[in-house]
Amino acid sequence: MNRKHTVTLLLSLLVALTLPGIAFAEIEVGEMAPQFTAVDSNGNEHNLKDFRGKNVVLEWTNPRCPYVVKHYDTKNMQSLQKKYTDKGVIWLTINSSAEGKQGNLSAEEANRSIAESGSAQTAYLLDPEGKIGKMYGARTTPHMYVIDGEGTLVYAGAIDNNSSSRHTTVANAKNYVAEALDAIMMNKPVEVAATNAYGCSVKYKS
């Protein structure tokens, strides 16, 4: 009895040694996507865990970044959101712009932006502290991640293969996110699973 107690105490202290801290991490495709909870523009809380069993897209955004503008002015992003949320995909748009930095939106501003652009994401998450962004190592806007129903990260990187800021380049670009989603929906491996995300830097707090 005594011994057991001592063992428990010592073990729990050793476990305490391993409590993680906060750092800018770069996660790898094939690993489990890190868990997070966040509040959306309507004040609802979302936990990545709640979406187990569904395919999830994470889209880093900054409404004033020209590369994000490219995909919204051409309605490319909205039609992707519409197409895949109709098929049951959870689409989370995440804004990690810190307060006072370019692209930072309040909840109302975010809702106005959604209405004006006709976006069709599942939720627009506000991450002004950059916690989720740093957890995923999101560097640019747009930076895209696809997570499968088992919670595994299956795609990370650019939205497509044309890093130009010209709006005309969107139509003929190869869309990596659509390809990844189509593949996992047909239980096929994702062909291009990691690319270099292009665009503006995420305007983090630090």
Partner 1 sequence: MSLFIQALLLVLSLGLTSQHPAIAEESAASETVHQPHVSARLLSEQEVLGRGLRETFALELTPDPEWHLYWRYAGDSGAAPKLHWEVEGASLAADTLWPTPERIAVGPFVNYGYTSQTLLLTELPIPDDAPGEITIRLDAEWLVCQEECIPGNGEFQLTLPVDDGSSSQPSSHSAKITTAQQQLPSAEDSLELSVLAESEETVVVSFPLAKSPATQPFFYPAHPGIIENAAPQQFTRSGTTGTLTLQKSKGLRHTGPREGLLVIRGESTTESYAVTVPTQPNEAIPEETSSKDTPHSLLNILFLAFLGGIILNLMPCVFPVLSIKILSFLEKSGKQSHQVRRHGLSFAAGILVSFWILALSIRGLREAGEQLGWGFQLQNPAFVACLILLLVAVALNLFGVFEFGSSIQRLSGSLDRDGESYTHSFLSGILATLLATPCTAPFMGGAVAYGIQASLLPSLAVFTALALGLATPYVVLTFFPRLLTALPRPGVWMETFKELMGFPVLLTALWLLWVYEKQSSSQQLLALLLALLTVSFACWGYGKIAPLCASRKRQRIGMLFFITLTALSLWICIPRTEKALEQHTSSSTTSQNHPSEGEKDSHGLLWLTFSPTTVETLLNEGRPVYIDFTAAWCITCQVNKRVIFGSEELREEFRERNVALVRGDWTNEDPLITAELEKFERLGVPLNVLYDPKYPSEPTVFPSVLTPQIVREALEKL
Instruction: Write out the residues near partner 1 by the rule CB under 8 A.
Output: 1-3, 5-7, 9-10, 12-14, 16-29, 64-67, 101-102, 129, 134, 137, 139-140, 156-157, 163-166, 194-196, 198-206
Q: Whole-number minimum distance, CB 62 to partner 1, in Å?
A: 9
Three-class secondary structure of residue 159 per DSSP: coil
Query: Looking at the chain, how many residues does it have?
Result: 206
Residue number, 122 or 175, with CB nearest to partner 1: 175
Radius of gyration in angstroms for the set of CA atoms belonging to the chain, rounded to a whole number: 19
Residue number, 6 or 47, with CB nearest to partner 1: 6
Tokens 């748009």 -> residue? 93
Q: Whole-number minimum distance, CB 55 to partner 1, in Å?
A: 20
- CA 60/CA 124 separation, integer angstroms: 10
- From residue 132, how far is each of 150, 174, 189 by CA, in Å? 19, 27, 26
Q: Whole-number minimum distance, CB 50 to partner 1, in Å?
A: 22
Q: Which tokens hold the place of 97? A: 């712009």
Tokens 């865990």 -> residue? 49
Residue number, 84 or 145, with CB nearest to partner 1: 145
Angle at 49 between CA 77 and CA 60, to 5 degrees: 25
Residue number, 6 or 42, with CB nearest to partner 1: 6
Q: Whole-number minimum distance, CB 7 to partner 1, in Å?
A: 7
Residue number, 4 or 188, with CB nearest to partner 1: 4
The residues near 182 (Cβ < 8 Å, ≥ 6 apart) are none
Q: Whole-number minimum distance, CB 131 to partner 1, in Å?
A: 9
Residue number, 103 or 120, with CB nearest to partner 1: 103
Q: Which tokens hold the place of 37? A: 């909870």
Instruction: Examine residue 142 and say whether the peptide bond preceding it is cis (omega within 30 degrees of 0).
Output: yes
Task: Identify the CA nearest to 202 among candidates 142, 116, 121.
Answer: 142
Q: Whole-number minimum distance, CB 102 to partner 1, in Å?
A: 5
